[in-house]
Amino acid sequence: MFLLLIETNNKSSQGHLLLILSMTTTVNYVFGAGVLSPSTGIVLNNEMDDFSTPTENTADKLPPAPANFIEPNKRPLSSMTPIIVLKVNF
C-alpha cells in the first residue's frame, strides 16, 4: 500500500505532506528459502516452514502443533499481523 496526500492551505503558502507506506513480506524468514530465482530475480519463500511437522520442532524451537499439520487445502497458522498506526495532530 502506498498513499501520498498533499494538502495546501489557501490562506498561506504552507502545505502538509502525508506519506504512508506499508509493506508486508511473505518470504517467512530473512531472505526466505535463501534461493533467488535466476530467471526472475525473485527471492523464493519458505512459507511451508509455518506448518508443523509431527516429528520435529519448528525453526523457533516450538513443539509440533497438531492443528497446524500439513493437509490439502489448508493454510498454515501465522502470527503475521500487518498494521498501520496513524498519529493524529502531530
- Tell whether 26 is in a known binding site: yes
- Tell whether 28 is in a known binding site: yes
- Tell whether 35 is in a known binding site: no
DSSP per residue, 30-61: TTTTS-B-TTT-PBPP-GGGGSBBTTB--TTS
Active site residue 24: no
Task: Compute the distance between CA of residue 51 and CA of residue 29 in angstroms, rounded to an integer.
Answer: 13
- Tell whether 52 is in a known binding site: no
Question: In 10 A of CB 10, how many CB atoms?
Answer: 5
Q: Say which of 8, 55, 58, 81 is annotated catalytic.
A: 8
> Annotated catalytic sites, by residue?
8
Task: Please report, in range form, the residues annotated as the binding site for L-glutamate.
Answer: 26-28, 50, 78-79
